[in-house]
């Protein structure tokens, strides 16, 4: 779909700021059954070290975002979301590529996340990036009681992983529509 390619070409990813929280919350409430509050985002953004929050923008409109937390040699994706009307246009892939690059820049060798059992679309995307389930967090989502997979991608700074990313980037740039 040419519209998806045009959207990706116009999307920029940059730092998330406090002034962006209102727009981020609008997406958050539409995507997650247990959305973060503005105070959670504000406290995460206030942490200058050990965190990275970035937003995907189409013009001035925020269409997605992602968050990272760093520990020695590991990064953890704290949140990632795309506005529903922009799903399947490659924006989540762009955000993950950015997350991996930022993680490597911060010295991470592994990248982890949690994902709901029912979110098969996100799981497929994460598998493309080399994530594999390593455990389960029972009742992780308190409101729904749903379990979450704990997924890890290992050796993200390796040449093999760089080749995986190059393949994902090539697919993203060559296809008019990206399927996850």
Domains and CATH numbers, the chain: 2-174 (3.40.630.30)
State mean pLDDT over 84-105. 96
Give the number of other Cβ atoms within 10 Å of residue 1's Cβ. Answer: 12
State mean pLDDT over 128-138. 97
Name the residue with tokens 């990275």. 52
Q: How high is the pLDDT of residue 73? A: 92
> Could you confirm whether 114 is annotated as catalytic?
yes
Q: How high is the pLDDT of residue 177? A: 45
For the chain, give the number of residues.
Answer: 180
15 exposed, middle or buried (CB, 10 Å; 0-12, 13-18, 19+)? exposed
Express each pLDDT in 9-19 by its tens digit.
689 999 999 99
pTM of the model: 0.90
State mean pLDDT over 52-78. 96
Label residue 6 by pLDDT band (50, 70, 90). low
State mean pLDDT over 20-48. 94
> Could you confirm whether 154 is annotated as catalytic?
no
* Given 53, 65, 86, 126, the catalytic residue: 126
């Amino acid at each position: 779909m040419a519209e998806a390619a045009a959207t990706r070409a116009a999307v920029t990813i940059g730092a998330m700021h406090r002034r962006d929280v209102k727009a981020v919350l609008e997406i958050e409430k539409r995507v997650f059954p247990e959305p973060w509050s503005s105070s959670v985002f504000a406290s995460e953004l206030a942490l200058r070290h050990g965190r990275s929050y970035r937003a995907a923008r189409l013009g001035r409109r925020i269409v997605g975002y992602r968050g990272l937390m760093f520990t020695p040699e590991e990064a953890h994706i704290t949140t990632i979301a795309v506005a529903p009307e922009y799903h399947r246009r490659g924006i989540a892939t762009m955000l993950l590529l950015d997350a991996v690059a930022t993680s490597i820049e911060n010295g991470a060798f592994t990248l982890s996340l949690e994902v709901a059992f029912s979110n098969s679309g996100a799981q497929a995307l994460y598998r493309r990036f080399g994530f594999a389930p390593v455990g389960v967090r029972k009742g992780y989502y308190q409101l729904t009681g749903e379990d979450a997979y704990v997924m890890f991608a290992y050796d993200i700074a390796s040449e093999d992983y760089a080749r995986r990313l190059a393949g994902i980037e090539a697919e993203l740039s060559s296809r008019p529509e990206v399927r996850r």
